[in-house]
Amino acid sequence: MKLPRFSRKTLCIPYAVFLVFFVVLPMLVIFFYAFTDENLHPSFGAFIKFFSDPTKLSTIVYSLVIALITTILCLLIAYPVAYILARSKMKKKFIILMLFVLPMWINFVLRVNAIRELFNLLASLKGMGWLASANYFKTVFGMVYDFLPFMILPLYTTMLKIDNSLYEASADLGASAATTFFRVTVPLSMPGIMSGVTMVFLPSMTNYVVSDMLGNAKVTIIGKFISDYFGNDWHMGSMIALVLLVVVFLSTWLSGGFKSEENVRGTSL
Amino acid sequence: MAEHIIELQDVTKYYDDNLVIDHVSFYVNKGEFITFLGPSGCGKTTTLRMIAGFDLPTSGKILLNGEDISLLPPNRRPVNTVFQRYALFPHLNVFENIAFGLKCKRVQNTYENAEGKRYTKKERLSKKEIAEKVKKALALVDLEGFEKRSISTLSGGQQQRVAIARAIVNEPEILLLDEPLGALDLKMRKEMQLELKAMHKRLGITFIYVTHDQEEALTMSDTIVVMADGVVQQIGTPTGIYNEPANTFVADFIGESNIFNGTVVGDRLVRFCGKTFECVDDFEKNELVDVVVRPEDIHMCAPEEGKLRGKVISVVFKGIHYEITVQVGKFEVVIQSTARREEGEEIGMNIPAEEIHLMKPTYTTNVYDGVITKRNTVKFAEGEFDCDVTQLYPGSHIDEEDYLITATGEKIDLTDVEVRVEVGLNDIEISDDQEAGGTMGRIISIIYKGDHYRLIVRTEEEEEDFVLSTEDLWNENDLVSVIIPKEKIKLSLKHTEEKSI
């Protein structure tokens, strides 16, 4: 039997269909809803309402700040781990790496629930009562815990690729350990940093499961907002989603994420 | 007397449990071009890395200008390295790569304050100074105008030059070069060799160079340190090492060599290839020696005029000379000559006495060329011995039809396979009973070694020698049979030697 021959073009069709139906069309729908009113007439109503409402704007800022703190904490925790693991000559280092990544294999909601129960338990202890109302703290804690593997993995893989002779060359040229770190290690691990930051920053702005469960529903992040609005006001929901899209686009663009092919390759896991 | 810039004192290095440097001691004179030469895994790169500070010696000392630097970290040593694969920083351009070391540097500047007091301050180099130095370094390696280029756009040769510039711009006392030309093509390599040599002259600093290429070492160095198995085999000038190799390893590694087993048969007389030659090295009578003759030192003549006679079995044109292999009895002799000979031609050969180099043999076992027979025994030294052929392939066994079955189930017919046979000095017995052993020979030498006799038994036809230890007293010239227990015969497959065809 002769196998049917596919040209490269025909092989692309399923993907093109997928992209049209699940990316392009939904985007257009969001765009359409964002700039129409209840009667589906073109309108800037949602736009004006959004930017004149201080609660909405402050939620965006809150989300950004929470995401920023989460990302920075993840980076601070993950960088030394990735650095030490990538450079150690330990034979079983993959086991340690796996222990860090292992929580990803357990259901997300279950993990967050477990943290909540732990916090409840801690809060019932003497002198720990402040925990009960430390909603922002608990939210950030939960996010860091949940998103840490997404920071460690790309950092680890980029650092693994840095040739040991580069560290030696740096020392050979008179650089102290600190100089080597800031002038060789950090710049060369930049693709990993970028990729880790993207993978932590974006979900921590929109993933409202954590903030809902750990923040006593007192912490509203932008993702929660969108989901609430899509209950009754699709136009406002779409507008917020669109604003978020622009914010994300701008932050990626500013951090140079679109710069070159090479960076993209470096960021792949 | 020249100043010793670097001195290694009894340096030993273990990686985990592996001994890689075994009690090495030597010194390097200030300003010289010294090369560590040896096959891969001989410890030459490790030695260099210990001088650079990347590896620390397990024991022993490294002195720099008389000061112990054995444990000093690399960034505090006044040496710079050109790495094997350059190790240029991919995130920096050519200028930034070369300026890297300069930016780390602090210099002592002396100033005078208002009251006229002098004081010194450690300062960074100014941007202008750095730019000037980088420019000079780039000019030195012929890369003017390459400052802004990114490393990935450079060819291998250009990267090599940047790596050299990056090292010498720091004005190190010693420049370490770890096989820096290994990745370049032949023509480029030859060019860089000469350039490096010229650069060494111009800069006047000490170069320590690591290579496995003997020709490169001979071309460039003032001094060569030949290493093997973590031990220094010989230290000397290129000519000294080439003309007077200390042992057969050096002779074999540096240039081409004919190496024969010989016996000293009288005052400055040595016997090898079945003939007796005059020589200049003085050894004890009956001492076993390795005889080394360079291929270009064998002179060809008419068959009847030569001490050795043989038939040409191959002629290879090598550009400036022919490499002629001649079968002399069972020996192969390699000759290099500008004169051409035809294959199959009968020729005579003479070797001047001063070109025959005798060396104390380093071996502690007897080694023979053997052939496996149909019955899975091994034939060597005019005899046939029972042996265990399964040792040639680990995990193999013999089936009912005498075929060898390997661990993976492959069936191998070993008949006529050439093997290397090794027998320890203490694993050979001799007997009066001429039927008892695998082969026969006459005792040609008996040396009393304090508690035992060291005997040499030589077979009559092929003059193969068995060196053995025994406590019994025998007489010279006794005809004895040689007995080797089956399990004491060590076999290994002969890897087809690289012969240019």
User: What stretch of H or E contains B490?
Assistant: strand B490-493
Query: Selecting from 3.40.50.300, 2.40.37.10, 2.40.50.140, 1.20.1250.10, what CATH number does the domain B255-359 have?
Result: 2.40.50.140
Say if A175 is an interface residue toward chain B (CB within 8 Å): yes
Q: Provide mean pLDDT across the span B278-283.
A: 88
Reduce the DSSP state of residue B347 to 3 states and report it: strand
Q: Which CATH superfamily is domain B4-104+133-243 in?
A: P-loop containing nucleotide triphosphate hydrolases (3.40.50.300)
Q: What pLDDT score does A266 carry?
A: 40
Q: What is the pLDDT of residues B131-166, one digit of tens each?
A: 999 999 999 898 999 999 999 999 988 999 999 999
Strand partners, B422: B367, B490
**Tokens (6 digits) for B324:** 């002629």
Domains in chain A, number: 1
Q: Provide mean pLDDT across the span B241-267.
A: 85
Asked whether the beta carbons of residue B91 and residue A187 sit closer than 8 angstroms, the reply is yes
Q: Which of A171, A184, A187 faces B74 most closely, judged by CB atoms? A: A171
Nearest CA in chain A to B79: A172
Q: What pLDDT score does B450 carry?
A: 56
Nearest CA in chain B to A166: B87
What DSSP string runs through A82-106? HHHHHH---TTHHHHHHHHHGGGGS
Nearest CA in chain A to B90: A188
- Residue A28 maps to a domain: no
Domain with CATH 3.40.50.300 in chain B: 4-104+133-243
Q: How far apart are CA B339 and CA B59, in angstroms?
A: 54
Higher pLDDT, B202 or B425: B202
- Residue A47 maps to a domain: no
Domain with CATH 2.40.50.140 in chain B: 255-359, 365-500
Cα–Cα distance list, B394 to A224, B240, B379, B409 (Å): 68, 43, 21, 12
Q: Is the pLDDT of residue B2 over 80?
A: no
Quote the ipTM score. 0.77
Listed in order, strand segments (DSSP E) in B299-452 are 299-301, 308-317, 322-328, 331-337, 346-350, 357-359, 365-372, 377-380, 383-386, 397-398, 404-405, 411-412, 418-424, 429-431, 439-448
Asked whether the beta carbons of residue B79 and residue A172 sit closer than 8 angstroms, the reply is yes
Q: What pLDDT score does B500 carry?
A: 34
Q: Is the pLDDT of residue A212 over 90?
A: no
Most confident of A87-101, B207-221, B464-478: B207-221
H helices of B411-487, in order, are none
Q: How far apart are CA B42 and CA B135, in angstroms?
A: 38
Confidence at A258, pLDDT banded by 50, 70, 90: low
Q: Is the pLDDT of residue B498 over 60?
A: no
Q: What is the pLDDT of residues A6-47, one digit of tens each?
A: 788 888 899 999 999 999 999 999 999 999 888 888 888 888
Asked whether the beta carbons of residue B89 and residue A165 sit closer than 8 angstroms, the reply is no
Q: What pLDDT score does A267 carry?
A: 40
Reduce the DSSP state of residue B337 to 3 states and report it: strand
Q: What is the pLDDT of residues B66-117, one digit of tens each?
A: 999 999 999 999 999 999 889 999 999 999 999 999 998 888 777 877 777 8
Q: How far apart are CA A155 and CA A162, in angstroms?
A: 11
Residue B188 burial by CB count (10 A; 0-12/13-18/19+): exposed, middle or buried? Answer: middle
- Residue A102 maps to a domain: yes
Q: Are strands B269-272 and B288-293 parallel, antiparallel or unpaired?
A: unpaired
CB-based contact A226:A237 (threshold 8 Å): yes
Q: Which of B281, B259, B429 is nearest to B361 (CA)?
A: B259
The shortest C-alpha distance from B69 to chain A (Å) reads 14
Residue in this structure with the two tokens 């050096």, named with its chain if needed:
B250
- Residue A199 maps to a domain: yes
Asked whether the beta carbons of residue B75 and residue A183 sit closer than 8 angstroms, the reply is no
pLDDT > 70: percent of chain A: 93
Residue B207 burial by CB count (10 A; 0-12/13-18/19+): exposed, middle or buried? Answer: buried
Q: Is the pLDDT of residue B322 over 90?
A: yes
Confidence at A129, pLDDT banded by 50, 70, 90: confident
Strand partners, B482: B430, B439
Identify the domain containing residue A211 by its residue range.
55-268
Q: Provide mean pLDDT across the span A78-84.
A: 93
The shortest C-alpha distance from B89 to chain A (Å) reads 7
Q: Is the pLDDT of residue A101 over 90?
A: no
CB atoms closer than 10 angstroms to residue B120? 10
Asked whether the beta carbons of residue A176 and residue B75 sit closer than 8 angstroms, the reply is yes
**Tokens (6 digits) for A2:** 């002769």
Say if A187 is an interface residue toward chain B (CB within 8 Å): yes
pLDDT > 70: percent of chain B: 96
pLDDT > 90: percent of chain B: 42
CATH number of B365-500: 2.40.50.140
Say if A163 is an interface residue toward chain B (CB within 8 Å): yes
Confidence at B125, pLDDT banded by 50, 70, 90: confident
- Residue A206 maps to a domain: yes
- Residue A196 maps to a domain: yes
Q: How far apart are CA A257 and CA B9, in angstroms?
A: 54
Q: Which of A168, A173, A176 faces B100 most closely, judged by CB atoms? A: A173
Q: What pLDDT score does B210 carry?
A: 95
| CATH number of the domain encompassing residue A254 | 1.10.3720.10
Q: What pLDDT score does B363 carry?
A: 53
Q: How far apart are CA B82 and CA A1, in angstroms?
A: 60
DSSP label of B319: S
Q: What is the pLDDT of residues B327-347, one digit of tens each?
A: 888 788 899 999 989 999 999
Say if A1 is an interface residue toward chain B (CB within 8 Å): no
- Residue A213 maps to a domain: yes
- Residue A39 maps to a domain: no
Asked whether the beta carbons of residue A168 and residue B79 sit closer than 8 angstroms, the reply is no
Q: How far apart are CA B148 and CA B370, in angstroms?
A: 64
CB-based contact B13:B23 (threshold 8 Å): no
Q: Which of B84, B85, B91 faces A188 most closely, judged by CB atoms? A: B91
Reduce the DSSP state of residue A50 to 3 states and report it: helix
Nearest CA in chain A to B169: A173
Say if A184 is an interface residue toward chain B (CB within 8 Å): yes
Asked whether the beta carbons of residue A184 and residue B54 sit closer than 8 angstroms, the reply is no
Confidence at B263, pLDDT banded by 50, 70, 90: confident
Confidence at A256, pLDDT banded by 50, 70, 90: low
**Tokens (6 digits) for A22:** 């699940």
Q: Which of A163, A174, A188 faces B101 most closely, judged by CB atoms? A: A174
Mean pLDDT of the residues in chain B: 87
Asked whether the beta carbons of residue A175 and residue B85 sit closer than 8 angstroms, the reply is no
Q: Provide mean pLDDT across the span A205-209.
A: 83
Mean pLDDT of the residues in chain A: 86
Higher pLDDT, B407 or B2: B407
Q: Provide mean pLDDT across the span B355-383.
A: 83
